[in-house]
Chain A
Amino acid sequence: MKIKELKSLDLKLYEHTLDNGFRIFIIPMKTSNTYVTLSTKYGSVNNEFVPYDSNEMKSFPLGIAHFLEHKMFEQKDGVDPFEFFAANGADANANTTSFKTTYLFSGTKCYKENLNYLLDYVYSPYFTDENVEKEKGIIEQEIKMYEDDPYSAMYENMLYNTFITHPLKYKVIGNIESVRSITKEDLYACYNTFYHPSNMYLVVTGNVKPKETIDIVEKYMSKKDFGEKKKIVIKKYDEPNKVAKKNETIKMNITVPKVGIGYKINVSKINMSVPKIRYYISMFFEMITDATSSLNEELLNKRIINCDLASTQVNLDGFMCFYILSETRKTNTLIKMVDEAIKSKPINKKDFERKKKAIMANLIKTSDNLYSINNKIMSNIITYDKVYTNYYDLINKLNYNEFKKIINEIDLSNTLTYTIKPN
């Protein structure tokens, strides 16, 4: 077991890898609650791969990782995992993103029993034609719920229009047709490929004893035969710099039109650590578009917008994509002004230093929260395959000259817009 200090956050990370490749990350905190997440490095983008018992690349229906997550709550003995955790006073849930699937619980009691059960149900798939069919109606309603939300629709459609070859363009949940086509054989093929312990990891934050946790997991794993550890072959995509579709307008049942402006930036040639690149480029977009920016102020003063601009980002190997979102009745003027402001790259040292200070303060403030810390570790493993323990130093060492150099280098020409107008 390795022990590392999370610098300046008064926290320690305990890290251990079992012989079968399963990784455990633990951060004890002064809380009553304990938050446990068990994740597989398998999300909605892993749709084309060589199944565990085959030598050929195969394509699976869109949304299958999310469907599989739903079906893991089906157990052969008829016990519903939600009921099990509820009986032990714990909250349980699961979620699927583009890059991972996570099963989780949090609670103050029965830690050992709950952890054992989490491992047990996730490592005991039980799919039948009947229970697979039953789930389709439920997921269909989930799809419809998101379709009625204009911001979900905008985000999902902008991803679709950003990427050309990479499956990040597709919705995590899939679509009604793809979900209807999923079979139990498909689910087993995905499960057996991606749910081997060597492709999974456990993160525990909160009221936890590291050694006890490692012993529980080791004991559980030693009793079960997971088969041999196989290299997972996933299709690689050569994603072009250009966007798939530059402009699109749709209609929905809304009152105030909504606009999204996206930038697809290739960062693969920048010779610097990925976390640093991400901080610099995020800071740049915040500086130009957030509530402290002169652009936001001008748009408000000219009544082009009534609420502050919002933004979100999506990262992919070699790419960073930023989306600026807003509500406006003057869609063309907004798009023009935002694009001009971003492309003129109006940066200054004073703003940079202020933002840096705010990021450091935010890092400290959020380190109180066992959910935030757990999420950060989960995302570090997916992105970097390791946990960065020196974020405070990393942020502290960000400097304006380096920032300026990167911002001057990045290409902001690959843009897209997405507009939702009232019916």
Chain B
Amino acid sequence: MYKKYKEEAYNIHVIKTNKFKKTVINISFRSKNDDSKLLRRRLLKTLLFEANKVYPTKRLLNIETEKLYDLDIYSDVLNSGNVLTSSFEMSILNEKYAKGLFEESIKFLANILFKPDIKNSKFDNKIYQKSIERIKEDIEVFYEDPRSYAMDEVFKKIGGNTPLGYSYFGNIDYLNKIKNEDLYNEYLDMINNDTVDIFIVGNVPDDAVDIIKKYIKLKNKREKLNHFIEHDKFSNKLIEYKESKPYNQSTLIIGYKLSKLTSYEMQYVLPIYAHILGGGPDSKLFQNVREKNSLCYSIGCGYRIVSNILFITSGINSSDYKKALKLIKEQVKLMNEGKFTKEELAKAKLAYLNAYETLNDSAFSILQDRIRKEFLNADLALIRRKKMSHVTKKDIMKIIPKIHPEIVYLLEGSKQNEN
């Protein structure tokens, strides 16, 4: 049962169900994206979880989560197209097992959000320094993974100065320029100006909305945001980039921009296209590049709706690059010429229908379904189940001209040449 409560500065979305032994809650702060903001928000998130006026050390904060019956609390800052989302998520054991736990947990989260350790418009300097070091290391470690590095390079090359081109973690060049005062201003910006939504799923106590209002006190009406990045420049050919690093395996990524997809095409037709091409072990890419030619272990096709891009990724030997690329291009060509069977189309639909049917088995999936509805105006799983089964071959053929080839990127593993 879903109910939306409109408060002055935020909306509360409550989905009541007694299926689960836990209640999950998500508070999302959203703002317009920009490259330097991403890094400031990541730093801010780290600072908020370091200490506050109630829990003066990170250790005490962590101990409190155990006292609150192993409260799972998680926060992330993510690029979502034109929007930057800072989310705080918790999973709380039901009241049946621990009375009053819901309120205690909300209070705990409110302390993190609204009682930061700020004096004279600054965070504690030691904590600020620690957070800078932490983020720096996070960035360095993230790029140790060849796939993360390669994917970031592809997005940078396709996206340029648009939010699509922003690094996953934010531009490291900005890091040392961020002053303590900047973070205080960023904090105020998040609390006072971001668009805020609160989602709760589970055996929600009757007084949950009152509890939220008691602890989450925000003012001012916030603006509506549009997540979707739309492209207006296309290469319409695969431009090749190569780079070499000392890895054992080479990473191959092929990127495409998408233009003017309708909401229906975005939600239903594109997923089917990607699934037939490279959505799983029964896909064209898996069967032809891996199974028939033994060129890789992993290969797949994915997409990001908010950024309007489609990509193919694989791990190969660099000596097989030309052969693998030729085979991938052949499979894409077959798709684009409509050379896929009724059975392939039916299997792709079934995969999604199965995913939609099982969505209600997880409180987190129900929560994400509602978030997509609110933020991206996407259909709920219940509607998607009906509409997905109606996708036709004709629908797929209509999106082919909207898929624009952009880039072939090879991160060559130079170590494999030594083997």
A contact set with B: CB distance below 8 Å: 30-33, 80, 82-83, 86-92, 106-109, 134-139, 141-142, 144-145, 147-150, 176, 206, 253-256, 290-294, 296-297, 300, 303, 306-307, 327, 354-355, 357-359, 361-362, 364-365, 367-370, 423
B235-290 at interface with A (beta carbon < 8 Å): 245-249, 280-282, 287, 290
Q: Is the CB of B350 within 8 A of A89?
A: yes
Q: Is the CB of A87 within 8 A of B347?
A: yes
Q: Is the CB of A306 within 8 A of B145?
A: no
Which residue of the partner chain, among B140, B145, B248, B354, contacts A109 with CB atoms under 8 Å? B354
Q: Is the CB of A149 within 8 A of B353?
A: no
**B346 located at the interface, meaning its Cβ lies under 8 Å from any Cβ of chain A in the complex:** yes
How many angstroms from the CA of A148 to the CA of B250 in the assembled complex?
A: 10
Q: Is the CB of A32 within 8 A of B347?
A: no
How many angstroms from the CA of A86 to the CA of B281 in the assembled complex?
A: 9
Which residue of the partner chain, among B59, B248, B249, contacts A297 with CB atoms under 8 Å? B59
**Set of chain A residues within 8 Å of B91, measured between Cβ atoms:** 365
**B405 located at the interface, meaning its Cβ lies under 8 Å from any Cβ of chain A in the complex:** no
Q: Is the CB of B297 within 8 A of A141?
A: yes
How many angstroms from the CA of A83 to the CA of B358 in the assembled complex?
A: 20
**Set of chain B residues within 8 Å of A297, measured between Cβ atoms:** 57-59
Q: Is the CB of A307 within 8 A of B134?
A: yes
Q: Interface readout for B280-305 with A: 1 if CB under 8 Å, 0 if not?
A: 11100001001100111110000000
Q: Is the CB of B97 within 8 A of A141?
A: no
How many angstroms from the CA of A356 to the CA of B21 in the assembled complex?
A: 19
A sample of 15 inter-chain contacts (CB < 8 A) reads A31-B358, A86-B281, A87-B346, A91-B351, A108-B357, A138-B297, A144-B248, A144-B249, A253-B144, A256-B137, A300-B130, A359-B70, A361-B97, A365-B70, A365-B91
Q: What's the minimum C-beta distance from B188 to chain A, rounded to whole angstroms?
A: 26
B163-179 at interface with A (beta carbon < 8 Å): none
Chain B residues bordering chain A, tally (CB within 8 A): 66
Q: Is the CB of A255 within 8 A of B144?
A: yes
**Set of chain B residues within 8 Å of A137, measured between Cβ atoms:** 294-295
**B143 located at the interface, meaning its Cβ lies under 8 Å from any Cβ of chain A in the complex:** yes
**Set of chain B residues within 8 Å of A307, measured between Cβ atoms:** 134, 137-138
Q: Is the CB of B67 within 8 A of A354?
A: yes
Which residue of the partner chain, among A106, A206, A306, contacts B133 with CB atoms under 8 Å? A306
On whether A292 and B22 interact (CB within 8 A), knowing A253-B245, A255-B140, A361-B69, the answer reads: no
Q: Is the CB of A254 within 8 A of B144?
A: yes
Q: What's the minimum C-beta distance from B150 to chain A, rounded to whole angstroms?
A: 11
Q: Is the CB of B354 within 8 A of A136?
A: no
**B141 located at the interface, meaning its Cβ lies under 8 Å from any Cβ of chain A in the complex:** yes
Q: Is the CB of A303 within 8 A of B362?
A: no
Q: What's the minimum C-beta distance from A1 to chain B, rounded to whole angstroms?
A: 25
Q: Is the CB of A147 within 8 A of B248?
A: yes
Q: Is the CB of A108 within 8 A of B247?
A: no
Determine the residue in chain B with the shortest Cβ distance to A109: B354
**Set of chain A residues within 8 Å of B281, measured between Cβ atoms:** 80, 82, 86, 92
Q: Is the CB of B354 within 8 A of A327?
A: no
Determine the residue in chain A with the shortest Cβ distance to B96: A364
How many angstroms from the CA of A87 to the CA of B346 in the assembled complex?
A: 7
Determine the residue in chain A with the shortest Cβ distance to B132: A306
**B413 located at the interface, meaning its Cβ lies under 8 Å from any Cβ of chain A in the complex:** yes
Q: Is the CB of B63 within 8 A of A296?
A: no
Q: Is the CB of B361 within 8 A of A86?
A: no
**B116 located at the interface, meaning its Cβ lies under 8 Å from any Cβ of chain A in the complex:** no
Determine the residue in chain B with the shortest Cβ distance to A253: B246
**B81 located at the interface, meaning its Cβ lies under 8 Å from any Cβ of chain A in the complex:** no
Q: What's the minimum C-beta distance from B89 to chain A, rounded to whole angstroms?
A: 14
Q: Is the CB of B358 within 8 A of A368?
A: no
B66-111 at interface with A (beta carbon < 8 Å): 66-67, 69-70, 72, 91, 93, 97-98
Q: Is the CB of A296 within 8 A of B66?
A: no
Q: What's the minimum C-beta distance from A372 to chain B, rounded to whole angstroms?
A: 11
How many angstroms from the CA of A206 to the CA of B247 in the assembled complex?
A: 42
On whether A369 and B362 interact (CB within 8 A), knowing A291-B59, A354-B63, A364-B97, the answer reads: yes
**Set of chain A residues within 8 Å of B133, measured between Cβ atoms:** 303, 306
**B343 located at the interface, meaning its Cβ lies under 8 Å from any Cβ of chain A in the complex:** yes
B312-331 at interface with A (beta carbon < 8 Å): 315-317
Determine the residue in chain A with the shortest Cβ distance to B315: A145
Determine the residue in chain B with the shortest Cβ distance to A328: B137
**Set of chain B residues within 8 Å of A136, measured between Cβ atoms:** 294
**B234 located at the interface, meaning its Cβ lies under 8 Å from any Cβ of chain A in the complex:** no
**Set of chain B residues within 8 Å of A32, measured between Cβ atoms:** 357-358, 360-361
Q: Is the CB of A144 within 8 A of B413?
A: yes
On whether A294 and B144 interact (CB within 8 A), knowing A83-B282, A145-B249, the answer reads: no
**Set of chain A residues within 8 Å of B246, measured between Cβ atoms:** 253, 423
Most interface-central of A31, A92, A138 (chain B CB within 10 A): A138
**Set of chain B residues within 8 Å of A296, measured between Cβ atoms:** 59
Q: Is the CB of B350 within 8 A of A31?
A: no
Most interface-central of B144, B296, B416 (chain A CB within 10 A): B144
Known: A106-B358, A292-B63, A297-B58. 9 other contacts (CB 8 A): A91-B351, A144-B413, A292-B62, A297-B59, A306-B130, A357-B70, A358-B69, A368-B22, A368-B363
Q: What's the minimum C-beta distance from A22 to chain B, rounded to whole angstroms?
A: 27
Determine the residue in chain B with the shortest Cβ distance to A139: B297
On whether A364 and B93 interact (CB within 8 A), knowing A144-B315, A296-B59, the answer reads: yes
Q: Is the CB of A138 within 8 A of B58?
A: no
**Set of chain A residues within 8 Å of B282, measured between Cβ atoms:** 80, 82-83, 86
Which residue of the partner chain, among A147, A148, A254, A365, contacts B21 with CB atoms under 8 Å? A365
**B5 located at the interface, meaning its Cβ lies under 8 Å from any Cβ of chain A in the complex:** no
Q: Is the CB of B20 within 8 A of A357?
A: no
How many angstroms from the CA of A136 to the CA of B295 in the assembled complex?
A: 10
How many angstroms from the CA of A144 to the CA of B130 in the assembled complex?
A: 35
Q: Is the CB of A370 within 8 A of B62?
A: no
How many angstroms from the CA of A262 to the CA of B52 in the assembled complex?
A: 34
Shortest beta-carbon contacts, A-B, top 10: A137-B294, A89-B350, A82-B281, A361-B69, A358-B70, A33-B358, A141-B297, A142-B297, A144-B249, A255-B140
**Set of chain A residues within 8 Å of B363, measured between Cβ atoms:** 368
**Set of chain B residues within 8 Å of A106, measured between Cβ atoms:** 358
Q: Is the CB of A108 within 8 A of B354?
A: yes
Q: Interface readout for B404-416 with A: 1 if CB under 8 Å, 0 if not?
A: 0000000001011
Q: Is the CB of A294 within 8 A of B59?
A: yes
Q: Is the CB of B354 within 8 A of A91?
A: yes
How many angstroms from the CA of A355 to the CA of B93 in the assembled complex?
A: 15
Determine the residue in chain B with the shortest Cβ distance to A9: B21
**Set of chain B residues within 8 Å of A135, measured between Cβ atoms:** 294
How many angstroms from the CA of A402 to the CA of B384 in the assembled complex?
A: 55
Q: Interface readout for B354-371 with A: 1 if CB under 8 Å, 0 if not?
A: 100110111100000000
Most interface-central of B21, B66, B247, B294 (chain A CB within 10 A): B66
**Set of chain A residues within 8 Å of B93, measured between Cβ atoms:** 361, 364-365
Q: Is the CB of B297 within 8 A of A365?
A: no
Q: What's the minimum C-beta distance from B125 to chain A, rounded to whole angstroms?
A: 14
Q: What's the minimum C-beta distance from B342 to chain A, rounded to whole angstroms?
A: 11
Q: What's the minimum C-beta distance from B343 to chain A, rounded to whole angstroms?
A: 7
On whether A86 and B347 interact (CB within 8 A), knowing A357-B66, A370-B361, the answer reads: yes
On whether A89 and B351 interact (CB within 8 A), knowing A82-B282, A145-B297, A300-B58, the answer reads: yes
Determine the residue in chain B with the shortest Cβ distance to A85: B282
Q: Is the CB of A87 within 8 A of B69?
A: no
Determine the residue in chain A with the shortest Cβ distance to B129: A303
How many angstroms from the CA of A106 to the CA of B355 in the assembled complex?
A: 10
